[in-house]
């Protein structure tokens, strides 16, 4: 059965959701996106995702459809998918206002689409025993807080991790850990949780924010502070978070064991608390 896609105001079969060859999303990566999880038939923190979409749009001067339209579109594809647990992807580009030109068009009609898909279950071995990561120089732009569709360097980093037999790549900029190729990154030293502060070099992850709130609720000390690479190697625990990754322990970085080489107590507590939040 063909997937149903929300495309510019209508629900259409997947094969009919096509864009112009001069859509600015394709020509200039002139677009933004969000991925929202649904658990048990309900969206998880959808309002946080929509707020971030608005922030990203404002940063690049991109006109958005109304939030009511976006909410309805995401709910519509989710309901039509027949899924209870899903990942809903929504993307907005500046559309195709005319022949290719670098300057922003005076008038633009956004291209908007949304689709719901099953979420592959996390590898139980990685959830239980941890995953491996490698570090990659962070050569991305200085607007990583915008959830842009321009993800080439993220894709190359992810592939470098897979080529090295790892599951995630961790970006390092000016000697400090920023984030993962598709995740936010955390370290734990002497019971204190550390993660890079908000700013232009990381995406303010929705799952990251949930983790920080859970840590406060659990009485875990938190410092939003950049982690030097040497401190990352010496950390007792490392984990990453993301909409589809949830809370994933990292037990090896660049071939070096993290702590005792297995998921630590702070990571396990936060992962369990996060699972409880999604069940709720």
Mean pLDDT of 138-146: 98
The 10s digit of each residue's pLDDT in 27-39 is: 999 999 999 999 9
Distance (Å, rounded) from C-alpha 125 to C-alpha 83?
25
Q: Classify residue 70 by burial, with Cβ atoms within 10 Å: 0-12, 13-18, 19+.
A: buried
Residue 225 CB coordination number (10 Å): 13
CATH among 3.90.245.10, 3.40.190.10, 3.40.50.261, 3.20.10.10 for 124-279: 3.20.10.10
Q: What mean pLDDT value characterizes the chain?
A: 97
Rg (CA), the chain: 19
The residue from 147, 158, 196, 208 that is catalytic is: 147
CATH among 3.40.50.2300, 3.20.20.140, 3.30.70.370, 3.30.470.10 for 4-117: 3.30.470.10
The 10s digit of each residue's pLDDT in 89-119 is: 999 999 999 999 999 999 889 999 999 999 9
Q: Does the pLDDT at position 1 exceed 70?
A: no
225 token code pair: 């502070």
Residue 228: in which H helix or E strand, if any? strand 227-228
Contact 87, 36 (CB under 8 A): yes
- Judge whether 158 counts as a catalytic residue: no
The 10s digit of each residue's pLDDT in 148-162 is: 999 999 999 999 999
Contact 158, 152 (CB under 8 A): no
Residue 39 CB coordination number (10 Å): 16
């Amino acid at each position: 059965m063909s997937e149903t896609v929300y495309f510019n105001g209508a629900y259409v079969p997947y094969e009919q959701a096509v864009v112009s060859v001069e859509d600015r999303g394709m020509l200039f990566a002139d677009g933004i996106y969000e991925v929202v999880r649904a658990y048990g038939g309900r969206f998880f923190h959808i309002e946080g995702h929509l707020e971030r979409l608005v922030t990203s749009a404002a940063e690049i001067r991109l006109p958005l459809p109304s939030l009511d339209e976006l909410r309805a579109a995401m709910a519509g594809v989710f309901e039509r998918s027949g899924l209870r647990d899903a990942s809903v992807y929504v993307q907005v580009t500046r559309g195709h206002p005319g022949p290719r030109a670098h300057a922003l068009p005076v008038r633009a009609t956004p291209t908007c689409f949304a689709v719901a898909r099953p979420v592959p279950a996390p590898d139980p071995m990685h959830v239980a025993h941890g995953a491996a990561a490698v570090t990659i120089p962070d050569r991305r732009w200085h607007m990583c807080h915008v959830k842009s569709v321009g993800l080439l360097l993220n894709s190359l980093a992810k592939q470098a991790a897979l080529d090295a037999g790892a599951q995630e790549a961790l970006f390092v900029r000016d000697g400090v850990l920023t984030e993962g190729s598709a995740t936010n990154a955390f370290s734990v030293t002497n019971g204190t949780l550390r993660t890079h502060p908000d700013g232009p070099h990381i995406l303010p992850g929705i799952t990251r924010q949930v983790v920080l709130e859970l840590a406060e609720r659990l009485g875990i000390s938190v410092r939003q502070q950049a982690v030097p690479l040497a401190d990352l190697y010496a950390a007792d625990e490392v984990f990453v978070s993301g909409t589809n990754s949830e809370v994933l322990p990292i037990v090896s970085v660049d071939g070096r064991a993290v702590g005792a080489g297995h998921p630590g107590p702070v990571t396990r507590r936060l992962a369990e608390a996060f699972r409880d939040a999604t069940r709720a």
